[in-house]
């Protein structure tokens, strides 16, 4: 094993970057940076049937958006190029031939129908289905006979009998598996392309990977990979299997689960901040040293260690993510928040795609007014609904406020003050409210609550003078007149 810390994220290009994959990438990245090591992004594209043409680019874009930087990959190159499995077939073939020549692997000619029949028989006997080893010791004559039938063989790894396989895991300690429960597994398919478990071992060894950090769902792959490392006489990297990520019902998160947005690209498109996403997913199965939960990337790098990766499943709490992103939105530069939110108002048809300078300024002020409340960019559409509707449907609670005896006097005085204004700005509106207070003697909730409810239909909201100024003189006076 390499003395230098070298870790990798090795996704298959089958779709968008999933939250689980993003966490694996992040843990590897943070560990590498903490240990002054190297982080490699490798593309495992041996499963040709599932590969999606643009997936690699989208995966890399999502990692870049999150701020996860790599040292070697398909785009940067590096000393162990190529970093894409299908460009490394010659390397794999050489190692397959080595195992075949040493009697540690063999050709298997069983058809899928024969394998399924075998599995059914095992299940009927109450056994765990596994390959029986029928073709372990075929003669050359038997092989030629199968090939004459048109059968194409796979290559299977010969699993040693009665062997205890130990996976030394930084999170789970020593995890043992019995070789009897595995069965000789396929390392090269009929089309000559190696399987994931074989390719990943060869790549990890030749690229000097010191630690394999990934999700718990890969733990079942670990014994097969350990056997392959041992078959070549190589040292096994240090494994670390992070906990499962559960949904809010504490069920294993499925990609078909629509209760949770699961892909990084979707969060980007909704107007989340990447640093908030990084902060949130870093806490899915890892615990920082103190009580503080809002952590910058530099703080995460400084604090990250494998001994604080926890075994217990992590629950994906959507409300916590919204809260955390809101903390970042509050602190973000106004221009950045507007850039995140404005496209959603345009997409919803609330604003034209091409705006005058006056419209742009109005939109800018509207978004900034709601920055404190915004959990993510797309939420601006819901938050600003009252600015884009002609009439207000007052609920029962609002009607109770408007039924108070002082309300007609307050609203009439306020309407008169607004009509006197030449400049309809937040400052002038604020002065008008103070003038109404002086004129009527009503103040506090008796003054401000009826005005807020009358113009917005809401009991609570952002700064009232700013809200009234952005609604505009004609809209506000019309709403007051309708009530009066």
Q: How far apart are CA 439 and CA 447, in angstroms?
A: 11
Q: Known catalytic residues?
A: 255
> What is the SS3 assignment for the chain?
CCCCCEEEECCCCCCCCEHHHHHHHHHHHHHHHHCCCEEEECECCCCCCCCCCCHHHHHHHHHHHHCCCCCEECCCECCCCCCEHHHCHHHHHHHHHHHHHCCCEEEECCCHHHHHHHHHHHHHCCCCCCCCCCCCCCCHHHHHHHHHCCCCCEEEECCCCCCEEEEEECCCEEEEEEHHHCCCCEEECCCCCECHHHHHHHHHHHCCCCEEEEEHHHHHHHHHHHHHHHHCCCCCCEEEEECCEECCCCCECCCCCCCCCCEHHHHHHHCCCHHHHHHHHHCCCECCCCCCCCCCHHHHHHHCCHHHECCCCEECCHHHHHHHHHHHHHHCCHHHHHHHHHHHHHHCCCCCCCCCHHHHHHHHHHHHHCCCCCCCHHHHHHHCHHHHCCCCCCCHHHHHHHCCCCHHHHHHHHHHHHHCCCCCCHHHHHHHHHHHHHHHCCCCHHHHHHHHHHHHCCCCCCCHHHHHHHHCHHHHHHHHHHHC
Contact 239, 212 (CB under 8 A): yes
- β-bridge partners, 315: 246
Structure tokens, 480: 């007051």
Q: How far apart are CA 275 and CA 330, in angstroms?
A: 13
- Find where tokens 């978004």 sit: 367
The secondary structure of residue 293, as a DSSP letter, is -
């Amino acid at each position: 094993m390499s003395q230098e810390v070298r870790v990798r994220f090795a996704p298959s290009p089958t779709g968008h970057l999933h939250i689980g994959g993003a966490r694996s990438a992040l843990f590897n990245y943070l560990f590498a940076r903490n240990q002054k090591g190297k982080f490699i992004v490798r593309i495992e594209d041996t499963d040709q049937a599932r590969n999606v043409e643009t997936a690699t680019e989208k995966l890399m874009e999502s990692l870049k958006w999150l701020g996860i930087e790599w040292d070697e990959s398909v785009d940067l190159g590096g000393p162990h190029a190529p970093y894409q499995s299908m460009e490394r077939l010659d390397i794999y073939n050489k190692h397959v031939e080595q195992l075949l020549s040493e009697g540690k692997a063999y050709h298997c000619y069983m058809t899928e129908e024969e394998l399924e029949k075998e599995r059914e028989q095992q299940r009927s006997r109450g056994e765990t289905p596994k390959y029986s080893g029928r073709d372990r010791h075929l003669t050359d004559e038997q092989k030629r006979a199968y090939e004459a039938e048109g059968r194409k063989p796979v290559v299977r790894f010969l699993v040693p009998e009665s062997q205890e396989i130990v996976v030394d895991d930084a999170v789970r300690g020593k995890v043992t598996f019995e070789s009897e429960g595995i069965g000789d597994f396929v390392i090269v398919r009929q089309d000559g392309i190696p399987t994931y478990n074989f390719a990943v071992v060869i790549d990890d060894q030749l690229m000097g990977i010191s630690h394999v950090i990934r999700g718990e769902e890969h733990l079942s792959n670990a014994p097969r990979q350990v056997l392959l490392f041992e078959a070549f006489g190589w040292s096994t990297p240090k494994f670390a299997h992070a906990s499962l990520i559960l949904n809010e019902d504490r069920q294993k998160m499925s990609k078909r689960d629509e209760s949770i947005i699961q892909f990084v690209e979707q969060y980007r498109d909704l107007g989340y901040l990447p640093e908030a996403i990084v902060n949130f997913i870093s806490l899915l199965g890892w615990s920082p040293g103190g009580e503080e939960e809002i952590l910058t990337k530099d703080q995460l790098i400084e604090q990250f260690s494998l001994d604080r990766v926890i075994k217990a499943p992590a629950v994906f709490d959507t409300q916590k993510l919204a809260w955390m992103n809101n903390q970042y939105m509050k602190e973000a530069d106004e221009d950045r928040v507007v850039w995140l939110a404005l496209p959603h108002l345009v997409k919803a048809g609330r604003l034209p795609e091409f705006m005058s300078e006056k419209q742009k300024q109005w939109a800018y002020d509207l978004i900034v007014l709601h920055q404190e409340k915004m959990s993510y960019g797309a939420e601006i559409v819901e938050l600003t609904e009252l600015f884009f509707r002609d009439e207000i449907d007052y609920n029962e609670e609002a009607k109770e406020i408007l039924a108070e005896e002082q309300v007609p006097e307050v609203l009439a005085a306020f309407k008169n003050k607004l009509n006197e204004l030449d400049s309809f700005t937040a400052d002038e509106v604020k002065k008008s409210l103070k003038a109404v207070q002086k004129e009527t003697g009503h103040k506090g909730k008796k003054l401000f609550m009826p005005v807020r409810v009358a113009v917005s239909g809401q009991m609570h909201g952002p700064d009232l003078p700013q809200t009234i100024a952005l609604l505009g003189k004609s809209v506000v006076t019309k709403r007051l007149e309708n009530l009066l």
